[in-house]
A and B are shown apart, each in its own frame.
Chain A
């Protein structure tokens, strides 16, 4: 809210410096900055907290705050409704259809005004300072009171009000031409003021043009009401019409405002124009009752962690408009009706704390039981995997939880069910991701424009569709619906030679193997990716160059492979992409191999390389398994050394080099022993697979 310091100073004596006032309010009430002053005197901009909107979206509210903070008296303006009150009935009846939406409504017949009289210069200046254009005395006074008291009021030309003055929700298709000259066609349920059931005003937002004060107006009907905040907010949004009045109603007023606002308008009209209230009608079926809060001074001190004398507590509460009585050690605090936000002892403690000054609260470290805290297992594992990937040259990225549309479509993922957003801001927020790969591909390809080779990974949740369940509190298995995945891409820009692509595949596969070893999984194996039906989840993996990652007999924990050229084509990616995508949640639940020490070989092992010319149908795995089988127990280990597929090799053959480690825990093996066994192994491989030693 904009505040003119000159206006504010008319209620309470303030420090000279605008910045000091702003700081006081910031530290004790709500954030306030010194505003730009262009000819309108010094200004403050207060960002009034939502729970303080009722009392502090008004000059009087802010003056009350400053009075309490500075311990100075506030000079309140004349706003006693009793004084202007008249018992006479106006020539119209009030008809409030839904008192829940309009709990209090006041209408006063005021005579002796002139529609074309201007307001005094001081009032015009103050209105201009807060950005309101002066018009005529009657309208200016209602606007002035909107800012001063915080209650919007509206003056009708009395001629526009016939036998009944009503408040009701609109019927669909009704029209009102508002003061700004716009004719609004209302949908159902917008609160309107009516004269003989005809809408003449959009309640709490803007008056109608026809019923407004004109130059020849001499009698007005001044109205003040409390309108439901949600109803006004929704109407204001629906009509795309925001006004100072609608802002205040949307942030919440109280019934107390209605009375204070009307009284202040009447007092000003009387003072400035000699106007007289001649009749009044009010609908206020359920008057608000003041509610007392009981709180002890010790309770307040315990919450704040700060000693505040009970006399000081009482002074503060009184300065804020509360009635306080003391019963033994208990304070009985009755907040003013416009402070609906004060309801429980904690609210009272807050008032005392902030007026005493939150900076006075000491910093203290609590004493607590020595419960050790440790990082949960899954978070610890994630850290280790992230660090390992980093050390292997991979860079972490984070992407949105929404699935980026272009990549989602290119992968054909849209045919798979996703959780969907009702109100996306853009097309990249339609679906929640079911895989990390679409967004990762998006990042990777954008990144590849800056660097020819990129290794990118992400650890993140995916969001699985499924029926909304309402499990009892604390028993929902939400982790199963938002499983963690770990995915990565190795992206190489441009035309990539076949050898290079193969090397990239083995690098990514090796990275995955290393990650799974770190996770403590033994028994990891790689299976061919089954050809998939068109348009399912796995069509992104290029057949023949991709593998499914499996653990043990059943668990499928992810994929590693080359992204299919069709997918890259659809995304206009010129390069090669090798990806991995792991079900991290599943991996972390799998049983870990026991890490039991094995005695190191006491005798030096013997290493023998074995180079073989192998038919393409024979896989490395098959050879290694056979060597283990034939060479037991002296073969300690078989390692893969090299694979070669040059054109000078015979058609349909590859060259594979393996390294066999021979050894025994009992003795040093003799050359003859090793040579014999090595020959037996070669002979057995020749017979079983048709390989030749090179």
Chain B
């Protein structure tokens, strides 16, 4: 019996040595034929086990089987190794082939975000004409006749006496005339200013206008709604600051600032907020009673707030854009970034 066990140990050493010399798949096949195939040395050895006396059969059989399973595993591992050697690997760092996708304009992206936020707060989304009658752009909004905006200087006028609306507020009277309070409305849209174009001025830009009319509305409601809305629009926690301001169609009127979005610690040399820590974002206020009366809303019973901001400006803040002209350039290097 010790003889047989010794032979098994010798065979193991021999097979291991043989396997370690194998270089090719053909040599490996040769190895299998010699040791593991049906007529190979190990199965042949296993077949002799049954002729042994019964008390020797078990230990010898166990040793021979362990040897066979071990060698088979080593054989399979060697085969996988040798097969892999012949395979040309992929360079997994080569960029994947992406499906060709287009892009939405950044102003579309930001406008949709604004719409979603206000839809979530129950604001209807409406619009009015861009070629507008002066009475909607000025008169019904309580803009006095002597207001400089009525000059040729600030407004694009059409030959037929109409104008290109200078603010989305022009749609206020139109949308309010068809509604009875309470209502809440958001008007996103394109507006025009008679201005020469440079990095921060455009003849064309887009605004959003909000209106909220109900009983007992106050500046505190305005602050609450804008606070909730603005931090969802800029995707960041922000503080809100009201400053006194003047628009003929609101009273009191406020300018709404948000805390500067730049994430640097100090804002002293900050280009976004020019060192103040605040960024002007909206004009707002309580709707002037004359404006409510102009659309036949009982101003002794109802009050409302209105706010208006530039979508372009929010987009510029979000993408840290410094030249407003890029929005209208059609430049693919710009558009394809969004």
Contact = CB atoms under 8 A, between A and B. Distances in A.
Question: Do the two shown chains form a genuine complex with each other?
Answer: yes
Interface of A: 26-31, 49-52, 229-230, 233, 302-306, 344, 346-347, 349-350, 353-354, 358-359, 361-366, 368-376, 379, 383, 386-387, 389-402, 419-425, 429, 432, 442-444, 446-447, 450-451, 454-456, 461, 463, 467-468, 470, 473-474, 476, 478, 481-482
Contacts of B3: none
A146 B196 CA distance: 33
Contact of A473 (B125, B162, B173, B286): B173
Contact of B182 (A369, A387, A482): A369
A372 B331 contact: no
A350 B330 contact: no
Given A366-B224, A425-B196, A461-B130, A26 B243 contact: yes
A49 B220 contact: no
Interface stretch (B13-21, B22-30, B44-52, B96-104): B96-104
A362 B220 contact: yes
A419 B132 CA distance: 12
B251 A350 contact: yes
Q: 7 tightest A-B contacts by CB?
A: A305-B220, A443-B330, A305-B218, A350-B252, A478-B129, A358-B242, A393-B100
Contacts of A362: 220, 223-224
A217 to B, nearest CB: 37
A369 B213 CA distance: 12
B70 interface: no
A419 B225 CA distance: 39
Contacts of B164: 401, 421
A455 B100 CA distance: 11
B156 interface: yes
Contact of B125 (A364, A375, A468): A375
Contacts of A425: 194-196, 203
Contacts of A481: 129, 131
17 contacts: A27-B244, A51-B246, A229-B146, A353-B219, A354-B244, A358-B241, A364-B221, A365-B221, A366-B214, A373-B119, A391-B101, A397-B330, A398-B328, A423-B152, A446-B330, A468-B160, A468-B161
B327 interface: yes
A447 B122 CA distance: 40
A361 B161 contact: no
Contact of A399 (B100, B224, B330): B330
Given A350-B251, A359-B242, A302 B216 contact: yes
A361 B130 contact: no
A389 B244 contact: no
Interface in B150-179: 152, 156-162, 164, 173-174, 177-178
Contacts of A371: 122
A400 B115 contact: no
A451 to B, nearest CB: 5
A478 B131 CA distance: 9
B313 interface: no
B222 to A, nearest CB: 8
Of B107, B122, B152, chain A has the most CB atoms within 10 Å of the CB of B122
Interface of B: 100-105, 107-108, 112, 115, 118-119, 121-126, 128-131, 133, 146, 148, 152, 156-162, 164, 173-174, 177-178, 182, 184, 190, 192, 194-196, 203-204, 212, 214, 216-221, 223-225, 227-228, 240-246, 251-255, 286, 288-289, 303, 327-333, 335-336
A266 to B, nearest CB: 31
A444 B177 contact: no
Contacts of A50: 246
Contacts of A429: 156, 203
B224 A398 contact: no
Contacts of B217: 366
A393 B101 contact: yes
A390 B242 CA distance: 39
A341 to B, nearest CB: 8
A423 B131 contact: no
A394 B102 contact: yes
Contacts of B244: 27-30, 49, 350, 354, 358
Nearest to A420: B159
B219 A399 contact: no
A27 B241 contact: yes
B129 A450 contact: no
Contact of A395 (B103, B146, B173, B254): B103
Contacts of B228: 365
A346 B107 contact: no
A52 B252 CA distance: 13
Given A52-B246, A305-B221, A447-B330, A230 B146 contact: yes
Given A28-B244, A447-B331, A302 B218 contact: yes
Nearest to B112: A383
Contact of A346 (B100, B223, B288): B288
Contacts of B194: 423, 425
A31 B288 CA distance: 22
B286 A303 contact: yes
Given A28-B244, A398-B328, 11 more contacts: A303-B252, A305-B218, A346-B251, A346-B252, A373-B118, A389-B102, A393-B102, A395-B332, A432-B131, A446-B330, A467-B160
Contacts of B255: 31
Contact of A358 (B243, B251, B328, B333): B243
B243 to A, nearest CB: 6
Contact of B130 (A372, A401, A476): A401
Contact of A306 (B122, B220, B251): B220
A365 B224 contact: yes
Contacts of B156: 421-424, 429
Contact of B289 (A230, A344, A395): A344
A250 to B, nearest CB: 8
B269 to A, nearest CB: 15
B170 to A, nearest CB: 11
A358 B240 CA distance: 11
A450 to B, nearest CB: 5
Contacts of B330: 397, 399, 442-444, 446-447, 456
A399 B328 contact: yes
Contacts of A432: 131, 158
Contacts of B251: 344, 346-347, 350
A447 B326 CA distance: 13
Contact of B190 (A31, A401, A422, A423): A401
A165 to B, nearest CB: 27
